Amino acid sequence: MALVRLQKFLAEAGVASRRAAEKLITDGHITVDGQAVRTLGTKIEPAQVEVAVDGKVVRTRRKVYVALHKPRGFLCTRSDPEERRTVLDLLPREWNNLFPVGRLDQDSEGLLFLTNDGSFSLRLTHPRYGVRKKYLAVVEGRIDESQLRRFTQGVEDAGELLKAERAILLASNNSHSSVELELAQGRNREVRRLFAALGHEVVQLRRTQIGPIRLGELPVGKWRILNPTEIKSLLPSET
């Protein structure tokens, strides 16, 4: 059996995303055959060793890929110290090992993936892959074509260049405007920051598409399993 990196094994076993698995390793939570391993890049032969997280043996699990229509008011996290509602509250209890792929802030809604496959999560969230996501934003005030061009040219905010790949004005009047944005960078609260940089507050934000997968008619708060064709479309060069 081929050797695999420890963090990849942890991610594929559903312990955490690849990045979170790396932190578990460097923080000393992982043992291999009873010996603590803190070195990133350590390779193991899964069938020949016992890997544990804080003493609990890791078992490989069937990979699960879920599309959820996240409602407003729910957090994109596995648990919350303040006991606020999280997206896992919307799923069956047996899926408590899933984790969100990327984020939607508490006040936003729309398409969100959850999985126990860390490689899948990395492929969809790391900036180097540039997976595009579409958003529908309703904002205060009138948006004009010159501002749409600013979005695609790039806007500086907090030392970062925020940029939309495409920006389409759907409707506009003196009180509110509706805009569809397509992004590839995945920066924190990027849509809201783009509009705020031009003096517009977002009053409603919905993610409508990730890669080729659309939110479609999936009701708010409901979920469905991604089919093999959809998973392959999101990972065209990955296994």
pLDDT confidence of residue 238: 41
Query: What CATH number did the domain enclosing 227 receive?
Result: 3.30.70.580
The answer to the question of residue 227 being in a domain is yes
Would residue 239 count as lying in a domain? no
pTM of the model: 0.77
The answer on 145 and 47 residing in a single domain is: no
pLDDT mean values, one per 10 residues, the chain (239 residues): 83 83 95 94 88 90 91 92 94 90 94 90 86 97 93 92 95 95 91 95 97 97 96 71
- Domain-embedded: residue 144: yes
List of long-range contacts for 112-115, beta carbons under 8 Å, 24+ apart: 112/67, 112/68, 112/69, 112/70, 112/76, 112/87, 112/207, 113/65, 113/66, 113/67, 113/68, 113/210, 113/226, 114/64, 114/66, 114/68, 114/87, 114/88, 114/223, 115/63, 115/64, 115/65, 115/66
Residues 162 and 176 in one domain: yes
Domain count, the chain: 3
In a domain, 165, yes or no: yes
Catalytic residue among 33, 54, 80, 105: 105
Residues 222 and 201 in one domain: no
Q: What CATH number corresponds to the domain at position 150?
A: 3.30.2350.10
CATH of the domain at 26: 3.10.290.10
Q: Which domain holds residue 24?
A: 4-57
Instruction: Clarify whether 105 is annotated catalytic.
Output: yes
